[in-house]
């Protein structure tokens, strides 16, 4: 009996891994959330204005889910902490979804380290600490996880409902309609096969929920066509061809080189990916092109779409649409190197343990850098102080 009690009380490995993810997220996102930047930036002040006046949603439905949540929390307590808390909520949902997806694709160990790499990205961590809806651009991670779960579950009814709800809410995000359309085209056969096995009531219920969620978006966009361009991530005025090519090249380079278009998120022109993550992405792209070509092409297409939208708007924040795909490729590269290492020493546990220790050390160094960057350097930099002065 005592042995059974000890077995029941002992936490599972899956629970421990998820706990590590959640603790890392809370440490990065909630640490001095309301006081690290005591005042609001101009973008946060604009977001507060649009969220605290719900009637504005009748004229502009862009990012409505974020703005409604922000309105409710800010009405509960009007302070910077609650104004930024919605970004934390969406960031946690995004990171946990990406972790679950990586576990399904690459196993628990690689899923854990891959998710920690994602959390260590300053672009993600800082977007999750802002009172702006920039974090909504990471929503492809949630859609990919729910779509993967829908196609793999033996009883996919609940997964289908969640997928339709998430897809409907995500359509309020600028530029997401292009990502969703591309994903639907690329995964049409797999989704159709899964839908054939789905019973009629949940199928109709999911489609009904999706339509119900997007009706306000359609109505508001029809009454106020000026909101269509921001919703579709189209610039107010189209750039000249040469300017578009220049901006697009700069945005592509911003993934791995220092850039001049970092805005308030990346200090000193910091690249989105550091050298370690870039190397893992390259290995992962190679491994996926070899073993799962269609998935690799879909992930690469998502990255290209993000680069094009970022170049079209000359806004680095749109690169977030492709970051989940990049991190999946990075996790694939980590798994490829781990398997190659183990194939050299198939029966010796010492090299396997050494490989895990090396991966853990690299991950710890990434987290340390991100913690120093996000929690110490960014709040105290002159660039941040110059931007966060709006009360």
Query: Tokens standing for 9?
Result: 């009380």
Q: What are the two backbone dihedrals, phi and then psi, of residue 234, each rounded to the nearest 5 degrees?
A: -105, 140
Q: Do 182 and 322 contact (CB within 8 A), yes or no? A: no
Confidence band of 42 (pLDDT split at 50, 70, 90): confident
Structure confidence at residue 45 as a pLDDT band (50, 70, 90): confident
pLDDT of 65-114, one tens digit each? Answer: 999 999 888 888 778 888 889 999 999 999 999 999 999 999 999 999 99
Assess contact for 133 and 84: CB atoms under 8 A.
no
Per-residue model confidence (pLDDT) at position 268? 59
DSSP one-letter code for 62: T
Given pLDDT bands bounded at 50, 70 and 90, which one contains residue 169?
very high
pLDDT band at 322 (very low <50, low <70, confident <90, very high): very high
* CB proximity list for 176: less than 8 A, separation 6 or greater: 137, 139, 140, 170, 321
Check residue 320 and report its DSSP letter.
G
- The pLDDT of residue 181 is above 60: yes
Confidence of residue 137 (pLDDT cuts 50, 70, 90): very high
Percentage above 70 pLDDT, the chain:
89
- Residue % of the chain over a pLDDT of 90: 39
Residues 221-248 have a mean pLDDT of 89
At 184-224, the pLDDT tens digits run 998 888 888 888 888 888 899 999 999 999 999 999 999 88
Per-residue confidence (pLDDT) for residue 259, from 0 to 100: 65
304 burial level (CB within 10 Å; 0-12, 13-18, 19+): middle
Flag the least confident range among 242-246, 263-267, 329-333, 343-347. Answer: 263-267
Residues near 325 by beta carbon (within 8 Å), at least 6 away in sequence = 140, 298, 299, 300, 302, 303
Q: Tell me what pLDDT residue 275 has.
A: 87
Question: What residues contact 298, with CB distance under 8 A and at least 6 apart?
Answer: 183, 186, 187, 325
At 385 the pLDDT is 67
pLDDT the model gives residue 297: 92
């Amino acid at each position: 009996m005592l042995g059974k009690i000890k077995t029941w009380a002992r936490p599972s490995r899956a629970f421990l891994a998820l706990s590590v993810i959640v603790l890392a997220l809370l440490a990065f996102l909630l640490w001095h959330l309301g006081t690290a930047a005591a005042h609001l930036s101009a973008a946060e002040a604009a977001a507060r204005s649009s969220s605290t006046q719900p009637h504005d949603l009748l004229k502009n439905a862009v990012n409505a889910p974020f703005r409604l949540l922000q309105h409710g929390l800010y009405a509960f307590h009007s302070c910077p902490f609650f104004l930024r808390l919605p970004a934390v909520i969406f960031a946690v949902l995004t990171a946990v979804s990406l972790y679950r997806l990586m576990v399904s694709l690459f196993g628990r160990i690689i899923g854990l380290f891959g998710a920690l790499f994602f959390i260590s990205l300053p672009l993600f961590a800082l977007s999750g600490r802002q009172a702006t809806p920039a974090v909504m651009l990471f929503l492809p991670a949630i859609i990919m996880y729910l779509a993967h779960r829908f196609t793999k579950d033996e009883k996919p009814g609940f997964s289908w409902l969640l997928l339709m709800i998430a897809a409907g809410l995500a359509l309020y995000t600028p530029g997401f309609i292009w990502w969703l359309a591309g994903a639907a085209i690329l995964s049409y056969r797999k989704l159709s096969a899964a839908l054939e096995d789905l019973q009629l009531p949940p199928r109709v219920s999911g489609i009904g929920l999706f339509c119900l969620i997007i009706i306000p978006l359609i109505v508001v966009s029809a009454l106020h066509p000026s909101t269509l361009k921001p919703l579709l991530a189209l610039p107010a005025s189209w750039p000249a061809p040469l300017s578009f090519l220049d901006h697009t090249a700069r945005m592509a380079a911003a993934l791995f080189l220092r850039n001049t278009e970092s805005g308030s998120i990346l200090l000193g022109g910091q690249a989105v990916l550091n050298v370690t993550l870039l190397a893992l992405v390259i290995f992962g792209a190679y491994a996926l092109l070899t073993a799962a070509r269609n998935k690799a092409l879909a992930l690469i297409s998502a990255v290209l779409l993000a680069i094009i939208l970022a170049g079209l708007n000359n806004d680095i924040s749109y690169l977030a649409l492709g970051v989940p795909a990049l991190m999946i490729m990075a996790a694939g590269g980590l798994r490829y190197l781990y398997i190659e290492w183990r194939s050299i020493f198939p029966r010796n546990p010492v090299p396997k343990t050494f490989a895990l220790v090396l991966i853990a050390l690299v991950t710890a160094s990434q987290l340390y850098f991100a913690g120093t960057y996000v929690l110490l350097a960014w709040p105290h930099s002159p660039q941040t102080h110059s931007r966060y002065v709006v009360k």
